[in-house]
Amino acid sequence: MKEKLVMVGNGMAGMKVIEELLDIAPEKYEITIFGAEPYGNYNRIMLSPLLAGEKTVDDIMLNPIEWYAEHGITLHAGKQIVEIDRVGRRVIAADGTNAKYDRLLLATGSDPFIIPVPGKDLPGVLSYRDIHDVNRMLEASKQHKKAVVIGGGLLGLEAAYGLMKQGMDVSVVHLMDTLLERQLDKTAGQMLQQSLEERGMRF
Ligand SMILES: Cc1cc2nc3c(=O)[nH]c(=O)nc-3n(C[C@H](O)[C@H](O)[C@H](O)COP(=O)(O)OP(=O)(O)OC[C@H]3O[C@@H](n4cnc5c(N)ncnc54)[C@H](O)[C@@H]3O)c2cc1C
């Protein structure tokens, strides 16, 4: 009898573990994966080229849905786990789908930090973490002209660039004096800003 391994979170870190396990101990586990997103495992780092229209969803897939069946893995895509029954050794999804485990691996990533200000829940205020967020930004870019990006770090600037490529007039609001202050010194941050301003981005 194989042990039952259940993984919650169908993202990049968790799937790397599964691939390693298949390499070193292919017969050890019967594997079931729950992912809140309705996709296979995709390369989250490539969301910005997706937003900019330089890649498609298919281009950024690392393990498409068929891959799981081909490797004998049960994937529940689009099912968010809302309860862990530790006594019964079972996980339960929002729609009632459940699975028993001998080993449980939680690889649920993180949520974007949303600044706690009035209006943060208004329609049109989005975070940037997954394909759903990119789709909402693409949708907004078809209906609206102006975008404000809060945060001049890597993701903020990537989002701003993508929105600009979608034809939006983009302003970036950043807390610090210069952009990418964790990666660049002042001079380099100013040079980056100047170069982005020349392409039409506002700060
Ligand atoms: C736009 C963007 C660009 C990035 N660029 C870089 C980069 O250039 N370099 C770099 O090193 N990193 C980059 N990152 C960060 C990198 O993508 C993350 O560090 C990495 O994806 C983390 O992997 P993870 O598996 O821990 O989490 P994730 O990839 O977030 O996967 C976690 C998964 O778990 C699912 N989940 C959460 N809760 C539940 C639940 N209750 N039930 C079921 N499923 C659940 C989530 O929906 C998600 O699909 C970027 C991130 C973004 C958003």
pLDDT digits (tens, 9 = 90+) for 163-196: 999 999 999 999 999 999 999 999 999 999 999 9
C-alpha to C-alpha distance for 197 and 107, rounded to whole angstroms? 39
The residue to mutate among 12, 75, 114, having the most atoms of ligand 1 within 8 angstroms of its beta carbon, is: 12
* Cβ of 45 less than 6 Å from ligand 1: yes
C-alpha to C-alpha distance for 42 and 66, rounded to whole angstroms? 13
- Structural domain contains residue 78: yes
Q: How many domains does the chain have?
A: 2
Asked if residue 1 has pLDDT above 90, the reply is no
Query: Is this prediction's pTM over 0.75?
Result: yes
Mean pLDDT of 134-158: 97
* Cβ of 13 less than 6 Å from ligand 1: yes
Looking at the CA of residue 12, tell me the nearest atom of ligand 1: 25
Residue 173 · residue 193 · CB < 8 Å? no
Cβ atoms < 10 Å from Cβ of 26:
10
Mean pLDDT of 25-45: 97
- Percent share of the chain, pLDDT over 90: 100
Instruction: Quote the domain boundaries for residue 77.
Output: 3-106
Mean pLDDT of 80-99: 98
> What one-letter code names the amino acid at 1?
M
Q: Which residues pair with 7 in a beta bridge?
A: 33, 105
- Structural domain contains residue 15: yes
